Structure 1
Amino acid sequence: MISYILSQTQLPDVSVKNTIELLNEACTVPFISRYRKERTGNLDEVQIGEIVKYKEQFEALEKRKISILKALEEQEVLTDELKKKIEATQDLTTLEDLYLPFKKSRKTKAETARKNGLEPLAKIIMSQNASDVESIAYKYIKGVVTSVEDALEGARHIISEWVNERTDVRNNIRRQLERFAMISTKVVKSKKDSEEAQKFRDYFEWEESLGRIPSHRLLAILRAEKEGFIRSKISIDDEKALAKIEDRILRSNNACSKEIKLAIQDAYKRLLLPSLSNEALQNAKEKADAAAIYVFAKNLKQLLLGSPLGEKRVLAIDPGFRTGCKVVCLDAQGNLKHNETIYPHPPKNDAIGAMKKISSLSEAYQIEAIAIGNGTASRETEALIRKIGFKNDIQVFVVSEAGASIYSASKIAREEFPNYDVTVRGSVSIGRRLQDPLAELVKIDAKSIGVGQYQHDVDQSKLKNELDTVVESCVNAVGVNINTASVPLLSYVSGIGPKLAENIFNYRTEHGVFTSRNAIKKVPRLGDKAFEQGAAFLRIKDAKNPLDDSAVHPESYAIVEKMAKDLGKPITELIGNSALLQKIDLKQYCTDSVGLPTLQDIIKELEKPGLDIREQAKVFTFNQNIKTINDLQEGQLLPGIVNNITNFGAFVDVGIKESGLIHVSNLSDSFVSDVNEHVHLHQQVIVKVLEVDVARKRIQLKLHK
């Protein structure tokens, strides 16, 4: 395993070895990267993630080898040479090629020919020595083989199978597909004029190199084909491919070579090209999936680490016209205190009554900030709120509603608010997102948040694994207040998981808040391992020991106590005291298991214990004159918020229903290889309107520096 991982990465031998040991000890990636730096050689989460990925690949490969060896033993065809080849194989494709001749497949033409006794004839032809093939074939006429042509055709089917099973031939065609394959599409004529097909009209007649097609375009083509609007085809130069196979197999120019040529053509057309072009398309799809998942994961990380307002009392509004605006009041911890509906917009138009109601609720619940969902009627509601003369300074924020409806109808929301309908739950979610985006968004299936491209078309298992990894990384990077965290948030803490998260929540409900990290050990089924993995990521506010509200691991408390004792100060005087902390000679605290990386982390944490790595939320205002797409004009400069990032550009909310696109070519005057290097999710930007297509509801923008 170690040599396999080393061949795939550039990481040091000892780092890989020790990381695998830690993973086998049921340690999590966040724990290893943060608290086992000495053992890993200071590897970060990404590098440890690579080791995890290749460890899983190796284990899958080994599992498949065992399965194949068992099948070959049962067939009694496993030779020592074949066994050595299988055991030495380092990739799945080569492994499957070795197994191909022995696969028990459905009834084939070659198998039928063998049953008809034609394999000896096929061997004679393949020897390429016979000059009168027809006379030899005549001897094989019997039973269902009624003519010389029947015999030769059957022999050719067997030869076709041999050609198809040759690893060198398969690899040669693979290389050609890799370098020269083209993907082309044609519209299904009966669907061409349908309204649903129009979004795919760019691909009604399309051709492009399979090796160079961008991720989003391949996924769009595959979706269009899946929905029945187009048909796609993978092709290479057939004559060139056939010539290369013939060069490998033909050694003579006689009657045998004529039959072999026909068999090669049959093998190529019927067996090799369909199978290997599907494989090439699958490989291209995997690359496209990986690119799309990478974009989604990066966007999700930015979204989860979005700026929190913090523990402030919030009034949240889910805007609407006919059904009214749902209003909720939340305390600083996000608990629901009040809810009702106002009707400031058409058809009721009770703007004055709505303003009075918001004003009185703000006073009654000492509201510090207002969160307005960015869906239907958002702009109109924001304009109304800004007209209110509040007695106190109340900040007004427009908050993304993406996924709020998913949450409001979920099991989690029903359990949190069994006595309220989906509209109230949705409004609560909007308010809580302002207080702490991470704590709220972990309750929603990540792919429903809508910050990616073609998330429903990629490999769902790989997408889920990657997004779960991102959520886990973000939750543990920020840390979790164990006394206020929801079950979904707790479940992502290192070493905890859904079941222990429920146990923590139930214990807290029954016994009250945790007053120390040691008290966490009292939770049923939370053993030493779970405590080791999770304790440092769980924060306890106002604890007797100030280290319980920091990222210092309990296993290192003794080190901090010794530092304080050596300085002749209590621990409380060390915290936040940079001048005092800088006096500490870290080398004298190094041991066999604790080195400078861990000690430096401890000092950094003591300087700013429990520091939130996220920026503070900032108020943002759209151009109040832009209310619909019809108000946009070419050349306008507008404030906007980046609300999605894809491989082909960034989408920007300029305060109307339709988001505008900054294509990669309009992000910078120089070449853009990664959109994320120029903008990030929820970034406040100024954009220039380049083009407005009202009919197609498309807006082209340019990033204004």
Structure 2
Amino acid sequence: LDEVQLAAVKSLWNNYEELDKRRSAILKSIEEQDKLSPELRSAIENCWQINRLEDLYLPYRPKRKTRASVARSKGLEPLALALMNLEQRDCLEMAGACIGQEVENTDQALSGARDIVAETVSENAQLRQIMRQIYQKDGVLTSLVQKGKEEDGIKYRNYFDYSEAITSMAPHRLLALLRAHNEGIVSIGLKPHPDNTPVAAMERMFIGQRKGIPSLHGPSSSLWQMEQALADGYRRLIHSSIENEVLNFYKEKADKESIKVFSENLRQLLLAPPLGQKRVLAIDPGFRT
């Protein structure tokens, strides 16, 4: 093995060690919560991707105060479960039963229940993997110049109003666009193509065939409430994290490709004759030591 291959082996080994340490920490944390089922342990022990590992841990990770945790403290989790089960009952009536000292009206009850649904859905490991695949396969990266930055960022003028599928973006263009973003010249965003919307994928997973047969309509329908919760969960809790993950994935890929191209160009330069086609006369002084 040459030095490049040895460095790659070392990098893989370091990644494995970090993954194994993280796996042990996650197992310990969930076990201390007394929530480590045999199925979950098996899934964690057989997971070899850090993103997937973090997805499995997400529902059990200690959280700061969230809208969903506040709603749970008000006793709205049963209402949220009813929404997720798409129960064919009047949601306004179910919400009315939750009104009390901490819940003032049905709107507040349903809003809290939707917050719980949104957080629960956003922590689903299978859904996050589907979202990741959608962004990686159909993501479109767009950029727009920041107001007043046209002169400062003139060298990035090609990206003042730019859009391209991230799968077809050349590494040098992606890295240039990210530099422009880091320098505050442009704002960027990664979203899937409109033909493959994440919310539609979420509805297929959590609503499925039941969408076509509601017995109630509008806010009274658990289907309507569920659709609102899914849209909120995607916009508020899923999009940003998946967007950052996928951008980091493609940046790392672009970095590796750029280093490969640079190293090959440098190799050709170092192997080139120092004076081109000119003849060079050298004298061996014959010193021997």
**1:16-44 CA-partner distances (Å, limit 9, x unpaired):** xxxxxxxxxxxxxxxxx4xxxxxxxxxx5
State the match for 1:248 in structure 2. Answer: 205
What is the identity, as a one-letter code, of the residue corresponding to 1:242? V
2:168 is aligned with 1:168: no
State the match for 1:270 in structure 2. Answer: 236
Among 105, 126, 131, the alignment partner of 2:84 is: 126
2:23 is aligned with 1:65: yes
State the match for 1:181 in structure 2. Answer: 139
Q: Distance in 1 between matches of 2:44 and 2:30?
A: 11
Q: Distance in 2 between matches of 1:191 and 1:125?
A: 47
Q: Distance in 2 between matches of 1:127 and 1:84?
A: 27
What is the identity, as a one-letter code, of the residue corresponding to 2:38? D
Among 212, 216, 220, the alignment partner of 2:168 is: 212
Q: Distance in 1 between matches of 2:241 and 2:256?
A: 22
State the match for 2:218 in structure 1. Answer: none
The Cα shift of 1:303 comes to 6.2
What is the identity, as a one-letter code, of the residue corresponding to 1:224? A
Among 85, 100, 103, the alignment partner of 2:61 is: 103
Indicate if the aligned counterparts of 2:131 and 2:242 stay in contact, CA closer than 8 A. Answer: yes
What is the identity, as a one-letter code, of the residue corresponding to 1:218? L
What is the identity, as a one-letter code, of the residue corresponding to 1:82? L
State the match for 1:281 in structure 2. Answer: 247
Q: Distance in 2 between matches of 1:237 and 1:211?
A: 12
State the match for 1:260 in structure 2. Answer: 226
SS of structure 2 residue aligned to 1:189: coil
The Cα shift of 1:145 comes to 1.7
Indicate if the aligned counterparts of 1:185 and 1:207 stay in contact, CA closer than 8 A. Answer: yes
**1:471-499 CA-partner distances (Å, limit 9, x unpaired):** xxxxxxxxxxxxxxxxxxxxxxxxxxxxx
Indicate if the aligned counterparts of 2:140 and 2:193 stay in contact, CA closer than 8 A. Answer: no
Indicate if the aligned counterparts of 2:156 and 2:180 stay in contact, CA closer than 8 A. Answer: yes
SS of structure 1 residue aligned to 2:197: helix
Identify if the C-alpha distance between structure 1 residues 103 and 88 changes in structure 2 by more than 3 Å, giving closer, same or farther.
same
State the match for 1:158 in structure 2. Answer: 116
The Cα shift of 1:108 comes to 1.4
Indicate if the aligned counterparts of 1:181 and 1:235 stay in contact, CA closer than 8 A. Answer: yes
What is the identity, as a one-letter code, of the residue corresponding to 1:150? Q
Indicate if the aligned counterparts of 1:86 and 1:98 stay in contact, CA closer than 8 A. Answer: yes
Counting helix residues as a fraction of each chain, which structure ranks higher?
2
State the match for 1:197 in structure 2. Answer: 153
Correspondences of 1:192-591 after superposition (within 5 Å): 192=150, 194=151, 196-237=152-193, 240-250=197-207, 252=210, 253-254=214-215, 255-299=221-265, 542=289
Q: Distance in 2 between matches of 1:228 and 1:69?
A: 40
What is the identity, as a one-letter code, of the residue corresponding to 1:222? L
**1:159-208 CA-partner distances (Å, limit 9, x unpaired):** 1111111222222222221121111111112111x2x3111111111111
Task: Report the identity percentage.
Answer: 37
**1:85-109 CA-partner distances (Å, limit 9, x unpaired):** 1111121111111011112233211
Q: Distance in 2 between matches of 1:159 and 1:304?
A: 60
Indicate if the aligned counterparts of 1:97 and 1:165 stay in contact, CA closer than 8 A. Answer: yes
What is the identity, as a one-letter code, of the residue corresponding to 2:240? P
SS of structure 1 residue aligned to 2:75: coil
The Cα shift of 1:46 comes to 4.9
Q: Distance in 2 between matches of 1:154 and 1:131?
A: 18
The Cα shift of 1:270 comes to 1.0
SS of structure 2 residue aligned to 1:104: coil
Indicate if the aligned counterparts of 2:52 and 2:129 stay in contact, CA closer than 8 A. Answer: no
Identify if the C-alpha distance between structure 1 residues 304 and 256 changes in structure 2 by more than 3 Å, giving closer, same or farther.
same
Identify if the C-alpha distance between structure 1 residues 240 and 225 changes in structure 2 by more than 3 Å, giving closer, same or farther.
closer
What is the identity, as a one-letter code, of the residue corresponding to 2:248? Q
Once superposed, what is the RMSD of the aligned Cα atoms? 2.5
Q: Distance in 1 between matches of 2:26 and 2:130?
A: 24
The Cα shift of 1:262 comes to 0.7
**1:235-285 CA-partner distances (Å, limit 9, x unpaired):** 124573222211111153241111111111111111112211121111111
Q: Distance in 1 between matches of 2:62 and 2:7?
A: 37
Which of 242-251 and 290-299 deviates more?
290-299
Indicate if the aligned counterparts of 1:188 and 1:231 stay in contact, CA closer than 8 A. Answer: yes
Q: Distance in 1 between matches of 2:198 and 2:79?
A: 27
The Cα shift of 1:50 comes to 4.0
Q: Distance in 1 between matches of 2:41 and 2:110?
A: 34
Q: Distance in 1 between matches of 2:157 and 2:257?
A: 24
5+ residue gaps in structure 2?
Answer: 216-220, 283-287
Correspondences of 1:14-25 after superposition (within 5 Å): none
**1:372-415 CA-partner distances (Å, limit 9, x unpaired):** xxxxxxxxxxxxxxxxxxxxx999xxxxxxxxxxxxxxxxxxxx
**1:522-546 CA-partner distances (Å, limit 9, x unpaired):** xxxxxxxxxxxxxxxxxxx84xxxx
Q: Distance in 1 between matches of 2:268 and 2:239?
A: 43
Q: Distance in 1 between matches of 2:198 and 2:281?
A: 71
The Cα shift of 1:150 comes to 0.4
What is the identity, as a one-letter code, of the residue corresponding to 2:257? A
What is the identity, as a one-letter code, of the residue corresponding to 2:132? R
The Cα shift of 1:45 comes to 4.9
SS of structure 1 residue aligned to 2:143: strand
What is the identity, as a one-letter code, of the residue corresponding to 1:186? L
What is the identity, as a one-letter code, of the residue corresponding to 1:153? S
Which has more radius of gyration? Answer: 1
Q: Distance in 2 between matches of 1:266 and 1:211?
A: 27
**1:401-432 CA-partner distances (Å, limit 9, x unpaired):** xxxxxxxxxxxxxxxxxxxxxxxxxxxxxxxx
Indicate if the aligned counterparts of 1:124 and 1:130 stay in contact, CA closer than 8 A. Answer: no
Indicate if the aligned counterparts of 1:235 and 1:277 stay in contact, CA closer than 8 A. Answer: yes
Indicate if the aligned counterparts of 1:116 and 1:144 stay in contact, CA closer than 8 A. Answer: yes
